[in-house]
Structure 1
């Protein structure tokens, strides 16, 4: 997968918006290491997220 394709697929795990080109957090799931992306709004509001691979939940 090319870097431009990966960039297009980045979506906030909480609200689902496309975050390419936005100020967003990128981190690995604490349990399984799956890459998680969150938009600034969901981070600020502490919206919950769930890892699609292992089901880990966090704020």
Structure 2
């Protein structure tokens, strides 16, 4: 499920920014290994249904 959520976000970004190449987006699902908070309450489960996005700047001389 985590990977599906991340893939949906990547699809959203590609649809709105068609200049992005597939190689520029890395999709990963972490699932049960990386909870943000406890997962035993509805509130905790809601917080754990998240997507984290990281941006890296590639030096122009590469």
Name which structure has the greater RCO, CA cutoff 8 Å, separation 6+: 2
Larger radius of gyration: 2
Return the structure number with greater strand share: 1
- Answer yes or no: same fold by TM over 0.5: no
Q: TM-score, normalised by structure 1?
A: 0.24
Q: TM-score, normalised by structure 2?
A: 0.24
